[in-house]
Structures are given as structure tokens and as C-alpha cells.
Structure 1
């Protein structure tokens, strides 16, 4: 096993946790949670997102560490065009996540603590919209990282 293989594994692990978690939340948890009354639904989302967002921070760390390591290994000029695009879309994904963390995620936690279900629903809608965007961008990034190497 080479250092590159280890970095590739860590990179894919981080991507799998982040994008896979968003796919699960959007496609599985969201429809099931909609059957619950607002208080239970928002409390569930707050609990699930607390754990998931901690994993996302770890995934971002793995993705950045491994991605930068692999880029340094070949140099920016030697990196495939797809890697440059992947770095760009990954940076946008991180920015979107940070905007969730410092915006609607804080608002959701505060609303659930106050039992203000109307404000919690607004915060959750904002989180859902950004997660949907990031999920689409994550899938596009995976396509760039794999299919883009054939350009």
C-alpha cells in the first residue's frame, strides 16, 4: 500500500460519509419524519443533525487532508483538470455546509429548545434546501472525480 492509496481511501471515506449521509437524510429520513407531528419531527431532526453534522466536520477534515496531500503529490500543474473542478465544487460544498452550521442549524436548535415549532420549521426548510443543493453538488463532484478523468 502506498501513501497515495491511503489518502485515496481517506478521501473516499469522507465523501461516502458526507454524501451518503445527505442521501439518507433526503431520501429516507425526510419522508419518514414527515408523518410525525411538528414537535416530534423537529426534535428528531435536531438530534439526527447534531450527530450527522459532527460526522460532516470529520469528513471535511479527511477530505481536505487527503485531497491536499494528493494534489501536492502531483503538483497543481500536473493534476488532471477534473481534480481542479472537484476542488472547486468541494470548496462550494464546504461553504454551503458552513452556512448551514452558522445559520439555520443554530436557529433550529434554538427553536427546538424554546419549543417554537413555527421558527423551527422555517429553519428546517432552510437546512433542507441547502442540503438538497449540496447533495446534487456532491453527486456532480463524484461524477467529475470519476467520469471527468476520461476527458
Structure 2
């Protein structure tokens, strides 16, 4: 029983870190940075903040499927016999993962390069793409959390 609770709590904490971090970045840090910082400082801030946040997202990306499938295993269920909301959660996780990987592997290096070369227009363009993808991922994450919390069946 204790192992079930620990696996579940670890799963929840990783979801909170990922989705909560995106919420903080999108709803609180981004507007404050826009209000208080000029483009070079703002781009430098994001170039430093995102890799720090992404270390925690990598933890979540790795732990969420391990704990999710662990919970299924502890219930002696497979994916095919899991409730539909769990199957949808797995699909949404894969979408969120693909968006995160696009940001981390394809866009973040461009932001770092633009900041290093002080190419502020290019940095702003890359940051805009990152912002849109984080916004999409935030919406998906909030949907996923709502789905998990309500345990909707289709």
C-alpha cells in the first residue's frame, strides 16, 4: 500500500513541476519580464531560465511514464485494459513530450546563439516560437491535469 502511495505522489509531483512551471513562466514571469526588461535583458533572462527549468522538465519527462506504468503494473493492468482516461493521458503526454523536445532540441539552441551573438531580432523571433509552444503545452497540460482529476470516461 505504501509503495502505491509513493508512486502516485511522485507522479503528481512531477506533473505539478512541469505544468506548474509552465503556468508560472507564461502567466507570471513573462508579463513581468516584458514590463520591466528591454529586449536584450529579457532574452538573456529566458536564455538562462529555460535551461534551468528544462532540467526539472527532463526529470518529469522520465519519471511520469515510469510512475504511470508503475501504477498500472501495481493494479495488474495493461494499457489495453486501462480506463480510457488513462489511455488519453498517455497520448497527451506524448504530445507534450514532442512539443517539449522541439523546444529543447530545436529552438533553445537558436535562442542561446542569438543571445550570444546579440542578434536581438532573431532572438525575439525564436523566443516567440518558444512562447507559443509553451502556451500550447500549458493548455494540454491543464487539460491533462483536469482529465486526471476528474477521471472522465468517454
TM-score w.r.t. length of structure 1: 0.94
Q: CA deviation at 1:78?
A: 3.2
Q: How does 1:101-120 map to 2 (within 5 A)?
A: 101-120=104-123
Q: Which residue is 1:132 aligned to? A: 135
Greater CA deviation, 2-11 or 33-42?
Answer: 2-11
Q: Would you say the 8 A contact 1:80–1:149 is kept in 2?
A: no
Matches within 5 A, 1:1-150: 1-35=1-35, 36-73=37-74, 74-149=77-152
Offset at 1:61? 1.1
Is the CA contact 2:83–2:153 (under 8 Å) kept in the aligned structure 1? no
RMSD between aligned alpha carbons? 1.3
Paired with 1:3 and 1:148, the residues of 2 have a C-alpha distance of: 22
Segments of 4+ moved more than 3 angstroms = none
Displacement, 1:149? Answer: 4.1
User: Aligned with 2:81: secondary structure?
Assistant: coil
TM-score under structure 2 length normalisation: 0.93
- Check the 8 A contact 2:11/2:63 in 1, yes or no: yes
Deviations 1:53-102 (A, max 9, x none): 11100111111210121123322233111100000001100010001111
Unaligned runs of 5+ in 1: none
| Structure 2 residue ranges without an equivalent (≥5) | none
Q: How many residues align?
A: 151
Range with greater deviation from structure 2 (132-141 or 61-70): 61-70
